[in-house]
């Protein structure tokens, strides 16, 4: 008897199919300035210029994280510069900044993690420039025009603005707002001059207000004896009742020196003792 054996074999063939990656179709950006937009030269802290980029249609598909997002100046000015006609403010790079993968004078490119955050949350808020404190930029409104680009194509424009407020400060020995002029032993027709150093970024004027109506008063009171005096600012006579205003040179941020001069006439026969007055100078910027 012949036996035959049949062996049944089976084979499973796998056919691999590679599906195309889903393309990014909705990545419509808009941008706006947020946060501080005012700067006072007398503030002690920097002003951080901030931009918020957001997706108009909300969070996007993960594939959109591969987009290249850049901020570029439309003008010849740097991306961190602000202009008011002629004067220019140059911002500095915020410390610890990790939102950008590359910097040039005119272009900031968002890092891949930053674009991923924008893609997944629909918003990205960041500081792109610091305006350091204490700088007496001329008062005014400064701005720049920045393009927001996706893969090299402009999709929106943001116009950061910074308003520099008029400011003035005293420097040197009178930086605390107090000074003293001492005639020592007073004689007729004597005069004495004191200097003050100041800084201003706008037109500046000064008034003078005497506590004792322009007289040096005896320590025991005006009924004992008083000595009238005249006051001068930068060699120009000024009323001591606060009603007269004199312009001062500002040189738009440079250090300036002013003088206060007091002069007495014939003092007559004063009673022995100390005489004093308080003359308050008030400065106004505009």
3-state secondary structure (DSSP) of residue 285? strand
Q: Output the furthest CA–CA distance in the chain (Å, rounded).
A: 162
What's the rounded Cα separation, in Å, for the pair 237 and 230?
A: 7
Give per-residue pLDDT as tens, 262-277. 999 999 999 999 999 9
DSSP for residue 22: P
- Pair (158, 211) in one structural domain: no
Residues 219 and 141 in one domain: no
Residues 209 and 96 in one domain: no
Q: Examine the domain organization and report whether 134 and 195 are in the same domain.
A: no
CATH of the domain at 260: 2.60.40.1090
Domain boundary among the residues 121, 137, 164 is at: 164
Q: What single-letter DSSP state applies at residue 175?
A: T
Residue 72 within a domain: yes
Residue 18 lies in a domain: no
Give pLDDT tens digits for 121-157: 999 999 999 999 999 999 999 999 999 999 999 999 9
What percent of the chain lies above the pLDDT cut of 70? 92
Q: How many domains is the chain built from?
A: 2
Inside any domain, residue 229: yes
Model pLDDT for residues 154-176, shown as the tens digit of each residue: 999 999 999 999 999 999 999 89
Write down the pLDDT at residue 25: 81
Kindly report, residue by residue over 194-239, the tens digit of the pLDDT.
999 999 999 999 999 999 999 999 999 999 999 999 999 999 999 9
Task: Work out the number of other CB atoms within 10 angstroms of the CB of residue 196.
Answer: 19
DSSP result, 141-171: EEE--EEEEETTEEEEEE--EEEEPP-EEEE
DSSP 151: T
How would you classify the pairing of strands 255-264 and 275-276?
unpaired
* DSSP assignment string, 184-205: SS--TT-EEEEEEEEEESS-EE
107, HSE (Cβ side, Cα atoms, 13 Å): 11
pLDDT for 22 equals 56
164, 198, 224 - which closes a domain: 164
Which carries the bigger pLDDT value, residue 11 or residue 279? 279
What is this structure's pTM? 0.82
Owning domain of residue 37: 29-164
What local confidence, expressed as pLDDT, does residue 99 receive? 93
Mean pLDDT of the chain: 90
Grouping H, G, I as helix, E, B as strand and the rest as coil, residue 264 is: strand
């Amino acid at each position: 008897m012949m036996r035959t054996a049949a062996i049944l074999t089976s084979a499973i063939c796998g056919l691999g199919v590679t599906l195309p990656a889903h393309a990014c179709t909705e990545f419509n950006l808009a941008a706006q300035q947020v946060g501080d937009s005012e700067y006072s030269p007398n503030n002690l802290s920097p002003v951080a210029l901030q931009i918020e980029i957001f997706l108009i249609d909300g969070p996007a598909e993960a594939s959109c994280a591969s987009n290249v997002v850049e901020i570029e100046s439309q003008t010849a000015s740097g991306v961190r510069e602000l202009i008011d006609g002629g004067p220019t403010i140059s911002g500095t790079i915020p410390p610890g900044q990790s939102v950008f993968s590359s910097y040039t004078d005119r272009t900031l490119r968002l890092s891949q993690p930053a674009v991923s955050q924008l893609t997944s949350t629909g918003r990205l808020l960041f500081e792109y420039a610091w305006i350091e404190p204490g700088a007496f930029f001329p008062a005014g409104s400064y701005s720049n025009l920045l393009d927001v680009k996706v893969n090299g194509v402009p999709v929106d424009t943001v116009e950061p603005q910074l308003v520099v407020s008029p400011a003035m400060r005293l420097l040197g020995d009178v930086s605390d707002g107090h000074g003293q002029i001492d005639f020592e032993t007073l004689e007729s027709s004597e005069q004495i001059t004191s200097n003050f150093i100041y800084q201003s970024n706008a037109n500046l004027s000064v008034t003078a207000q005497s506590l004792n109506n322009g007289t040096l008063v005896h320590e025991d009171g005006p009924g004992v004896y008083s000595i009238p005096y005249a006051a001068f600012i930068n060699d120009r006579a000024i009323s001591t009742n606060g009603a007269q205003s004199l312009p001062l040179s500002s040189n738009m941020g440079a250090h300036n020196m002013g003088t206060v001069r007091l002069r007495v006439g014939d003092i007559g026969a004063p009673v022995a003792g100390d005489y004093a007055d308080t003359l308050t100078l008030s400065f106004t910027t505009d």
